[in-house]
Structure 1
Amino acid sequence: MAQLWQGLTAEEWDTPQVVVHRGRLQDNIASMAAFARQHGVQVRPHVKTHKTWEIFAMQQAAGAVGLTCAKLGEAEVFLQRGVKSVLVAYPLVGTRKLERLFELMTRFPAAEVQTIVDSPERAAELAQAAAAQGVELPVWVKVDSGLRRVGVSPGAPAAELVREVRKLSGLRLLGLLTHAGHAYGAASYEQVAEIGAAEAGCLLETAELLAAEGVTGLGISVGSTPTVKVSGAVPGVTEIRPGNYVFYDATQVRLGVATPEQCALRVLTRVVARPEAGRIVIDAGAKTLALDKGAHGSDAVAGHGLIVGHEGAVIERLSEEHGVVRIAEDSPIRVGDVLEIIPNHSCPVANLTDELTAIGEDGSLETWNVIARGKMR
């Protein structure tokens, strides 16, 4: 913990506080950028993980070609800061969503706003709306590589949707896109790697079907931090969209994707009670740590985060403002101590706080506002 505190005492921290180790953050960003250069792919990071301008600025300086987000509200706050290329990788359904999409395109004419289609009906709706606005909307065909969430099946169904999109005026087809989020439920890194290979493979096989009839030059975009260094290394992939890699978390550690030392985002929390020898209460509850025990429904992580330096301690349950932790009866932890937690899932933790405290290697502190916090629409 000393490497984070740099001379500040426990009394000087107001807890719970979400902190980011700047050096580790920069190392994570640099590592992904180096991977992308090595394999000749572009990085379009998903900013839902951090939602802060300072971190995206680091990603952009490292070569990111734009950003990925899930919501128009997220897109708007980054477009306001001058971002030139934004992918809203989420189905935009309904009149109000389309109005807002075209409002952004009108307000920020120098920026490219991309989105996805996953069915002929949605493609036709977007095309009609774009044509009515007199614009050409760049779109990706979203393919389901196994998450069973959003996307058309790979192979013949995805190829058919590509054909349909190419017929529609108002749309400009960018390529094929997928997200292998089901990797979060993997039992081992070997299984993660298998999913990553299949993630890229299903897009490239679809592209081969289309190439046989003369449709070439399609972009191939993959995402998911656990799989990205497998799928992103497959020849033919053109773009990667990882998000969690900037911070990592206990879930990535469980999957074998990262080490605890690489986890840049931590929660500092204070022990507020020790009602009995084997139980303490901390001031970080569900409103700080979130309730995730692994992304996409995975429940494979024990407890609600890793307590650094106290690996035997288990955060057994959370209420809104309290965390209940099981410890050894002879543990030296005392009321008033500040503990450091690597959360299970760093993305919702960042979204639950107004600001991140960035800690430099020299102990300097900066405050980074979470500018897209709560942008759920």
Structure 2
Amino acid sequence: METADWPVPGNAQEFLTPALLFDKDKINDNIKKTIRLAGGAERLWVHIKTHKTGEIIQMARAHGITRFKAATLAEAALLADCGAEHILLAFPLVGPAQKEYCRLAKNYPSSAFYAIGDDIGQLALFCKECRAMSLEIPYLVDVNAGTDRTGVRIEELSEFVEQAALKAGQRPAGLHCYDGHLGMPEEQERQQAVKQYRIQLEEQTARLERKGFPLEIRVMGGSPTMRCHEHLGPEYLSPGTTFLWDVGYGRRYRELPFEPAAAVLTRVVSRPEKNLFTLDLGYKGISADPPDRRGEIAGLPHAISLFQNEEHWTFYMEPGYEEQCPQVGTLLCVIPTHICSTCVLYDHAEVISEGKIRESWKIAARDRFRRMCPQREGNFIGEEEEKQ
């Protein structure tokens, strides 16, 4: 069994553990690969939910990427701070989030903001909020391609678009279609599944175009289905994990060319038995999703997870490999199975370049809400505004 190639940084002994590591050179390579796979930076509308980091946003912008997706208000605010040209909040705006998003757009007029929705009543409230602030934020209809998480079913799309335009007082600008349910390891099977729902989608959009609803913006797919959409139309492709990658996607989608660019630095803190060792890396330091195989120790393919607690992770060595059991104090790198929900556990990442840790980057949008919006003058979301 092979493990990912992730050597311990040369100066890692100086750092407390557990620590989140980013490899700057690998991130840069993954950005380039993402652009090549999409057929150009202009075809990308990339998600920042995985890294939530300003420096990676700026690296992407330096490569010509101008369109970004966010899952939270904090991520949208970070994108605005970074000067992102196009910002799509790809999450239903319900309740006070509508006003907060409008305030954000008002405060950053040089960025173009977009929203999504699948409920006509909520879209009407959002458009009303926009008009109250003299804004027009385009919205995309969220399409349910089979994930059954959010979105309008494809067969109901035509009627929904017409009703939304009528009752919200603003026509949809396009479609947002995430197909996260298409996680088959075989690329050909994924391609066939994408093609099948795309045929249905094209029938609906052609009908709408004849009725005067062109729906020009289309943000399609995710990281696993990126190549499946590549030749099917002029829409934007929307990967999120490709910049950092992880062993979960790496094991499942072997045809994709990305390398893990993030790891967690950890130390052996105990050897309770000859063939057992314990790391200072519990499920408060690495994603507990999925419940099994939460990560791989680089360079120790015969170390098998025994159990994990909040701050401890105990392994045993396979029979015949007991002599490889690491000593107390040994530094190791663990590649997470799920990097998205690992990054959010850390305030910052130690950044490797040319084999050593040389920088520290803040995971700037790890909070769900922006706690210091300048336009709020210190108010938190949910606080009563000053009386006039």
* Correspondence 1:327 to 2:328: no
Equivalent residue, structure 1, for 2:182: 183
Q: Deviations over 1:191-239 (max 9, x none)?
A: 44344444644543331232343433522211311111212x1332411
User: Any idea what the Cα deviations from partners look like across 1:131-184, whole Å, max 9, x if unmatched?
Assistant: 3333222100000111110001013x1121222233356535221111111134
| 2:138 corresponds to | 138
CA contact (8 A) 2:245 2:258 kept: no
1:71-110: CA deviation from partner (whole Å, max 9, x where unpaired): 112212331332232111101111x212212211221122
* Correspondence for 2:271: 274
Q: Against the structure 1 CA distance between its residues 215 and 172, is the aligned structure 2 distance closer, same or farther, given a 3 Å change threshold? A: closer
Over the residues paired in the alignment, what is the CA RMSD in angstroms? 2.5
* Structure-2 residue corresponding to 1:222: 220
AA aligned opposite 2:163: E
The CA distance in 1 between the partners of 2:127 and 2:6, in whole Å, is: 53
- Cα distance, 1:374–1:195 mapped onto 2, change above 3 Å: farther
Q: Output the CA distance in 2 between the equivalents of 1:99 and 1:324.
A: 47
User: Which of residues 18, 32, 35 in structure 2 aligns to 1:33?
Assistant: 35
In structure 1, stretches of 5+ residues that fail to align are 294-298
Give the structure 2 partner of residue 151 of structure 1.
151
Give distance in 1, aligned partners of 2:5 and 2:143: 46
SS at match of 1:286: coil
Q: Which range moves more in the overlay, 193-202 or 333-342?
A: 193-202
Q: Does the residue aligned with 1:83 lie in a helix, a strand or coil?
A: coil
Are 2:1 and 1:17 equivalent residues in the alignment?
no
Report the CA distance shift for 1:344/1:110 in structure 2 as closer, same or farther (over 3 A).
same
1:326-359 per-residue CA deviation (whole Å, 9 max, x = no partner) reads: 3225142222111111101111111111111111
Could you tell me how far apart the structure 1 residues matched to 2:148 and 2:180 are?
A: 9
**Pair 1:241 & 2:243 matched:** no
Cα distance in 2 between the residues matched to 1:79 and 1:328: 50
**Pairing 1:54–2:55 present:** yes
Structure 1 residue 54: Cα displacement: 0.6
Give the residue type in structure 1 aligned to 2:235. T
Q: How far apart are 1:281 and its partner, in Å? A: 1.0
Cα distance in structure 1, aligned partners of 2:185 and 2:6: 32
User: Counterparts of 2:258 and 2:232 in 1: how far apart (Å)?
Assistant: 31
The AA in structure 1 aligned to 2:338 is: H
- Residues 169, 120 of structure 1: alpha-carbon distance in 2 compared, 3 angstrom cutoff: closer
- Does structure 1 residue 113 correspond to structure 2 residue 113? yes
> Are 2:285 and 1:288 equivalent residues in the alignment?
yes
Tell me the distance in 1 between the aligned counterparts of 2:43 and 2:257. Answer: 27
Amino acid at match of 2:127: A
> Structure 1 residues 106, 368: CA separation in 2 closer, same or farther (over 3 Å shift)?
same
Tell whether the 8 Å contact from 2:33 to 2:258 is kept in structure 1 after alignment.
no
Residue 129 of structure 2 is aligned to residue 129 of structure 1:
yes
Match of residue 342 from structure 2: 349
Corresponding residue for residue 213 of structure 1: 211
Q: Is contact 1:91-1:116 (8 Å) kept?
A: yes
CA distance in 2, matches of 1:304, 1:287: 12
For 1:316 and 1:188, locate their aligned partners in 2 and report how far apart those are by CA, in whole Å.
30
Name the SS of the counterpart of 2:263 in structure 1.
strand
Q: 1:307 aligned to 2:297?
A: yes
1:169–1:375 distance in 2 versus 1, CA, 3 Å: closer
Read off the aligned partner of 1:272 and give its amino acid letter: V
TM-score, scaled relative to structure 2: 0.86
Count of matched residue positions in the alignment of Structure 1 and Structure 2 = 364
Pair 278,171 (structure 1): closer, same or farther in 2 beyond 3 Å: farther
Name the CA distance, whole Å, in 2 between partners of 1:199 and 1:50.
30
8 Å CA contact 1:306–1:314 kept in 2: the answer is: no
The letter for the 2-side match of 1:18 is L
What corresponds to 2:360 in structure 1?
Answer: 367
Tell me the distance in 1 between the aligned counterparts of 2:217 and 2:31.
Answer: 23
The unaligned stretches of length 5 or more in structure 2 are: 371-388
Q: Which has the higher helix share?
A: 1
Q: State the one-letter code of the partner of 2:129.
A: A
The whole-number CA distance in structure 1 between the counterparts of 2:304 and 2:234 is 41
Corresponding letter in the other structure for 1:320: E
In structure 2, the partner of 1:296 is none
CA distance in 2, matches of 1:234, 1:89: 23
Partners of 1:52 and 1:368 within 8 A in 2: yes
SS of corresponding position for 1:171: coil
* Larger displacement relative to structure 2 (193-202 or 367-376): 193-202
Matched residue of 2:46: which SS?
A: coil
The alpha carbon displacement at 1:364 in A equals: 5.4
TM-score by length of 1: 0.88
* Residues 220, 236 of structure 1: 8 Å contact kept: no
CA distance in structure 1 between the partners assigned to 2:139 and 2:163 by the alignment:
12
Residue 86 (structure 2) pairs with residue 89 (structure 1): no
